[in-house]
Amino acid sequence: MKSSILQTVVAICLTSLFFACEPPPPQEVPVVPKKQLAYELVKKDGIFAEKFDSKEKDQNRYNYNNNIFEIGNEYTYDYYHLDKNGKKQLWESTKGENYRADWKFVPYKADHPRAITQVSFTVIEGLEPFIKYTPDYNQTIVKISYLNHEGKPKLREEIGLIENEKNLWMHPPRTKFFSILEINPFPFIQAPYEVGTKFEWSLEVSETWGDKRWKTWSGTINNKQTYEITGKEKVKTGVGELDCFKVEAKANSSIGESGLVSYFHPDYGFVKLDYSNIDGSKTVLELKKKGRAKLEKKKK
């Protein structure tokens, strides 16, 4: 994908990751009143995004029309990984300077003392830090926190997503082991929300996302992603049993095929993400809870 949606994705990922051993004091998330701002929807590379008048500078303009990812909403997921032999695992961070490569698998244990056991997504205000690198950045910004068994953040990063009346599209977690998900289909659903709807987009993926533990390549690959809403299913989640749309997706490139089966609810978003990875392994994220978060005070 060559549009402004992802032009600076690698640079942003490198600069937006922080080690959160001693985060600043949290503050209650304010309820940000929604505004009715005029926009048009523009489809580019398969994704519908909001386009505002050039005079509109409100930093929350891409957030006001969100129904799922409203400012301050926090979605926390359990996850597990199954290797090619079906062994259930988590991952933990290891010492080193490479934020993607410095990690290792550990046996699955919900209260593992060192592993990352949950992933939370918190919607934050404004367009920082992405607008520093891409002045016309057009996404809602979400802070991802990687939590230990005590619910304490050990790592964090920021990602972007696009939510409007036509679609919900979002980046997956992509720190350390989760870098593998860059090669999978991204979570994405597009209206009309009914069985049989098909859609697609593509992404150019740099060799920097490769890892010898799953796949490496030289240069850039074009990852074509195709989707179809194939049914409706009841899914048990941490917030109850929900009627969800089932979206089946495939990503194909010169290095092979990966997949994603996602389950979408109009009030909670993607409540389950079942990834089939490029190396034959599986990674599953399941919604545990939804709440209102406490955001860290921004440094002045």
- SS3 of 175, please? coil
- Tell me what pLDDT residue 14 has: 37
Overall average pLDDT of the 213-225 stretch: 97
Angle, vertex CA 24, rays to CA 19 and CA 25, nearest 5 = 140
Cβ neighbours of residue 123 under 8 Å, at least 6 residues apart?
A: 63, 66, 69, 70, 71, 72, 73, 74, 140, 141, 142
Residue in this structure with the two tokens 């034959």, named with its chain if needed: 280
* Confidence label for 11 from pLDDT (cuts 50, 70 and 90): very low
pLDDT exceeds 80 at position 63: yes
* Mean pLDDT over the full length of the chain: 90
Within a domain: 300: no
Within a domain: 137: yes
- Tell me what pLDDT residue 300 has: 44
Overall average pLDDT of the 250-274 stretch: 98
- Tell me what pLDDT residue 130 has: 93
pLDDT in tens, 158-213: 999 999 999 999 999 999 999 999 999 999 999 999 999 999 999 999 999 999 99
29 versus 232: the higher-pLDDT residue is 232
* Confidence label for 2 from pLDDT (cuts 50, 70 and 90): very low
Query: Which residue pairs, CB below 8 angstroms and at least 24 apart, start in 22-28?
Result: 23/153, 23/296, 24/296, 24/297, 24/299, 25/296, 25/297, 26/294, 26/295, 26/296, 26/297, 27/294, 27/295, 27/296, 27/297, 28/294
Distance, in Å, from the CA atom of 154 to the CA atom of 94, rounded to the nearest integer, reads 12
* Confidence label for 34 from pLDDT (cuts 50, 70 and 90): confident
* Confidence label for 101 from pLDDT (cuts 50, 70 and 90): confident
Within a domain: 132: yes
SS3 content of the chain, % helix, strand, coil (to 5): 5, 50, 45
* Confidence label for 23 from pLDDT (cuts 50, 70 and 90): very low
Within a domain: 55: yes
Distance, in Å, from the CA atom of 287 to the CA atom of 73, rounded to the nearest integer, reads 13
Within a domain: 35: no
* Confidence label for 293 from pLDDT (cuts 50, 70 and 90): confident
- Tell me what pLDDT residue 28 has: 56
% of the chain at pLDDT higher than 70: 87
- Tell me what pLDDT residue 162 has: 98
Q: How many domains does the chain have?
A: 1
> Which of 127, 5, 143, 123 has the alpha carbon at shortest distance from 60?
127
Within a domain: 31: no
* Confidence label for 294 from pLDDT (cuts 50, 70 and 90): low
pLDDT exceeds 70 at position 22: no
- Tell me what pLDDT residue 227 has: 98
pLDDT exceeds 90 at position 139: yes
Within a domain: 231: yes
Q: Which two tokens stand for residue 67?
A: 């129904």
- Tell me what pLDDT residue 26 has: 53
- Residue 74: give the domain boundaries: 9-23+40-295
**Residues 32 and 63 sit within 8 Å (Cβ to Cβ):** yes
Within a domain: 228: yes
